[in-house]
Amino acid sequence: LMIYSGLVDSFLDDEIALLKQLTSNVALGITKFRSEALRMVAEQALRESEQRFKDFSTASSDWFWETDGELRFTYISDALKELFGMDSDALLGRRREDVASYDDLAHQAKWARHLHTLAERAPFRDFAYRVPTALGGRWLCISGVPGFGSDGEFKGYCGTGNDLSES
């Protein structure tokens, strides 16, 4: 936006101040419009990403899980219910060692190594353990990665699991 005059000093100080304020208001409006457009694009991308995750979760033969910083389950996909006849909601708030079978927990060296890995906030792969379920004891194999907030704070783990019982 440009306003000009062929005459020198044709604008009064009040008019110049008013035009500067108008310029600031227009710039603010354009910035807000652009920010709103970017927010809408980001929200759409987030919705699409969430839908992709839900589709993968539904289609997968594996199940997905997530824990908080205290290693208590905060999310377990519904596939676990189908695979093991287990209500996934009943596991929320519990730790992995709370749901493992007593005979599996007797393997102290295995559990000590796994708990050490978790304490180190390191990724792990193919940790197998036995869980009593409505369908009898089932062997689970899980893998997980730690998650951290933007401030570097440990938030918990997320990962996948599958049924090893047949093998």
Give CA–CA dist 146/121, Å, rounded.
Answer: 6
Identify the residue with better confidence: 120 or 79.
Answer: 120
Higher local confidence (pLDDT), 167 or 143: 143
CA distance 41 to 85: 40
CB proximity list for 121: less than 8 A, separation 6 or greater: 146, 148, 154
pTM above 0.85, yes or no: no
**What's the mean pLDDT in 34-42?**
92
pLDDT band at residue 115 under the 50/70/90 scheme: very high
- For 68-90, the pLDDT digits (tens) are 999 999 998 887 777 677 677 77
Confidence band of 61 (pLDDT split at 50, 70, 90): low
Q: Output the CA torsion sign for 85, 88, 89, 95.
A: positive
Residue tagged 């694009």 (tokens): 41
